[in-house]
Amino acid sequence: MASGFFALLDDIAALMDDVAVLSKVTTKKTAGILGDDLAVNAEKASGFVSSRELPVLWAITKGSFFNKLIILPIAFLLSAFLPKAITIILVLGGIYLAFEGAEKIYEYVVPHKQPVAAKLPVTEVPSEAAILDVEKSKVKSAIITDFILSVEIVIIALGAVLEQTLLIQIMVVSIVAIIATVGVYGIVALIVRMDDFGLKLVAKSNGAGFMHGFGTILVNALPYVIKSLSVIGTIALLLVSGGIFAHNIDFFHHVLVSWPAIIREFLIGLAIGILAVVIFKFVLWLVGRIRG
C-alpha cells in the first residue's frame, strides 16, 4: 500500500518535472510574440490620466484572462480530435504575424497621410462621461488585440508540445498562458508607471543629486522605451513567423539551410510578410476600383 502511494508520488514528480522542462522550452518559443504583446499593450495602456492607468490596465488584464478561458478549451479539443488543425492554424497565424511585421516596416518606410483629427475649441473640456467612453473604447480595442495575440501564443505553445500526451499539453499550455498574462501585464504596469515614479523621485530630490538625475531619466525614457519595444516586437514578429514556416512547411526546410537560423527565419518571415502586404494592398485597391 505504502509502496503504491510512493510510486504514485514518484510518477507525479516525474510528470511535474517534464511539465517544468517543457514549459521552459515552450515559453522560449513564444518569447517573440510575447515581446510584441508587451509592446502593443504598453502602447495601449499609456496615454491615460495617471490615476486611471492601473484601473485601465487591470480591466485589460481581466479581459485577457477571459480571452484565454475561451481559447484554451477550444485549442485542447482541436488537439485531441483534430490535431492537424493546430498546424494549419499555426501557419495561418504565422502569415498574420509576418503581415503585421512587414506592414509596420512598410508604414515606417513608405510615407503616407495620417488621419486628421477633428479640432476642438481650446476652451472645450471633455465631460467625465465622454472621457469614460473613450476609455471603454480603448479597453475594448486592447482586449480584442489581446484575443488575437492570445490565440497565437496558445497555438504556438500547443504546437511545441503537440507530440506529448493531452494531460501534459493542458498543463504546459495553461502555464504558458498564465505566464503570458501575468508576466506581460505586470511588466506593462511597471512601464506605464515609470514616469510617475520618476516624478516622485524628482519631487523628493530638492532639485539635485542622484534621485533627481535618475528620476529625470525615467521620465524622459518612457517614450523611447515604448518605441524600442515596438521595434523589438516587429523584429520578433518576423522571427517567430519565419520559424513557424521553416519548421512546418516542407518547402522552407531547404531554403537558406547554410545560413544562421536567426537570419534565415527573419528573411523567410520578411519575404512572406511582404507578399502578404502586397496582396492585401492589391485587394484594397481592387475593391476601391470596383466601388469607384
137-183: pLDDT as tens digits? 878 877 877 787 788 788 878 877 777 777 888 888 888 888 888 87
pLDDT given for residue 29 in this prediction:
58
pLDDT given for residue 96 in this prediction:
85
As a whole number of angstroms, the distance between CA 81 and CA 62 comes to 30
Q: What is this structure's pTM?
A: 0.69
For 188-213, b/e burial (b = at least 16 CB within 10 A) is: bbebbbbbeebeebbeebeeeeebbe
pLDDT given for residue 271 in this prediction:
94
> What would you measure as the largest C-alpha separation in the chain, in angstroms?
81
pLDDT given for residue 197 in this prediction:
79
pLDDT given for residue 25 in this prediction:
55
Residue stretches of the chain with pLDDT short of 50? 1-2, 5-12, 15, 116-120, 122-123
Residues 6+ apart with CB under 8 A from 274: 102
pLDDT given for residue 274 in this prediction:
95
As a whole number of angstroms, the distance between CA 32 and CA 239 comes to 7
pLDDT given for residue 9 in this prediction:
40
Q: What letter would DSSP give residue 29?
A: H
pLDDT given for residue 168 in this prediction:
81
pLDDT given for residue 268 in this prediction:
93
